Amino acid sequence: MSRDETILRFEDLSFEYEQNKPILESVSFSVRKNSKITVMGQNGGGKSTIFKLITSELRPEEGRVILGQGQTIAIARQVIPRDELDLTVRAFFEKAFDDSVKAGLRRDAGKIRDIDPRIDDVLEVVNLKGHAKMHDRVMRSFSGGQQARLLLASALIQDPDLLLLDEPTNNLDKAGIEHLTEFLKAYEKTVIVISHDADFLNAFTDGVLYLDIYTKKVEQYVGNYFNVVDQIAVQVEKEKRKNAQLEKEIQENKDKANFFANKGGQMRLVARRMRDKAEELEDNKVDTRKEDKTIRPFTIPAQPGLAGDILTITAFTTLNFKTHKPVKRKANIELRKNKHLLLKGPNGIGKSTLLEAIAKGETAGSSILPGTTVGYYRQDFSTLNFEETVYDSLMSVMKSPNEETLRATAASFLITGDLIKSKIKSLSEGQKGLVAFARLVLQKPGLLILDEPTNHINFRHLPVIAEALNMYTGAMVLVSHVPEFVAKIRIDETLDLEK
């Protein structure tokens, strides 16, 4: 297969999760061998659905997906499925092979022989240190950043012709993103990536599939990420100018039609022609793509009536990367109202573990003021009950249930229509994140604990979220590997776990 040959093609494909709720309508595009493609689109618009159609996890209502003969596929998912968190690393990788074989995504059959050396090699590729001792560790014992690397490794170990990456930079620290970027630059096979990290995408992308949530179409562009974003902006402006000119002509013809209609006689025929002309011009108007909707500015109300130290941290535990043993450290952190603390440190050092211990009151080195309502945003959304509807999830955190307030808050986070009746498990990862923020608004916490709140979230929403956190007047503890996001938030104190 030459560089110019097509490895993947969608032909007039349509898909809907529920009747009369289409996600894709008559979508056609192709992907060339060895290309590096980005999928753009709003949260919940169908980006991950495209991946599931490629891997045959979902079947189209109409049209078809065509993969080059003999080509293999592997996908690095956004998150580790909950039923796989208790697998060992070895079992997790074996399952990745087995699932691919069952789905017909690769040609191998039977149990993979000598998988341990292959695991060692691929963990080296994703820069996961200490891998010699990891084969028998349970997946849930790893940090979010380490799990992100394991997800990538589980796809790379299959050496696929087509590599699908769904939000691969989530939870990765700066070093992890840089390592992944360099790997993808050098990768000699085909890659399709879903990500909200513009700088990461621009470093290696040579084409974009733009999924329009309003038209349900996919448009294909050639060029790096930033160039394509500029192309789309230029196209939108052209469409708007064309429609403005047509609108002017339409109004002129309607005005003339009204004028001649009042003259009577033969002038009525002229008026009819003017109206026909206006209708013809109306048909010539183009459907301009609408900008992705952005969540409305919001405030997370702080719990009233709290005084004194809301959170105290006198000790914490980190992981020594050389010995892989826990190390106890001392601290002197006292957070009152309107104080913001940033936790820093590389993947795997123990940031999420410390946040969870604080939130649950399971560490002797920290204490929370009695009576404090804790709002905890977890990177894996495990504070959400996936079997609940969005409505019930939001209602459950309200001290004084009020449906009008609930629905108004939900709408500000783009949770409208039937979405509020949907179960949490049916939402995209980005939509789960927006539900988690809506819960914080309704909960009115005195202590806000946030673990990687930018993961899965559309980049358009991030400035709005940053401003809400910046203005929060309770005590706050934040973990984030996105410096541009952190820079927009007032930080009063920093605790660097590495130091």
The residue with greater pLDDT, 436 or 180, is 436
**Stretch 275-301: mean pLDDT, rounded?**
74
Report the percentage of the chain scoring pLDDT > 90. Answer: 38
Identify residue 57 by its one-letter amino acid code. Answer: E
**Stretch 5-23: mean pLDDT, rounded?**
86
**Stretch 124-142: mean pLDDT, rounded?**
80
Q: Quote the pLDDT of residue 4.
A: 60
Q: Quote the pLDDT of residue 395.
A: 97
Q: Which two tokens stand for residue 47?
A: 């980006």
Q: Decide if pLDDT at 304 tops 70.
A: yes
pTM, two decimal places: 0.69
**Stretch 133-146: mean pLDDT, rounded?**
85
Q: Quote the pLDDT of residue 225.
A: 79
- Dist. CA 357–CA 338, nearest whole Å: 22
87-129, pLDDT tens digit by residue?
999 899 888 887 776 666 665 544 566 788 888 888 888 878 6
**Stretch 170-192: mean pLDDT, rounded?**
86
205-216, pLDDT tens digit by residue?
889 898 887 788
- Dist. CA 9–CA 215, nearest whole Å: 20
The residue with greater pLDDT, 262 or 316, is 316
Question: Model confidence at 460, in pLDDT bands (50, 70, 90)?
Answer: confident
Q: Are strands 207-211 and 62-67 parallel, antiparallel or unpaired?
A: unpaired
Q: Quote the pLDDT of residue 322.
A: 65
CA distances from 104 to 3, 54, 151, 159 (A): 24, 11, 20, 15
The residue with greater pLDDT, 330 or 263, is 330
- Poorest-confidence range of 54-58, 70-74, 251-255, 266-270? 266-270
* Burial degree of 78 (CB within 10 A; 0-12, 13-18, 19+): buried
Q: Decide if pLDDT at 54 tops 80.
A: yes
Q: What is the DSSP string of 367-403?
A: EE-TTPPEEEE-TT-TTS-TTSBHHHHHHTT-SS--H
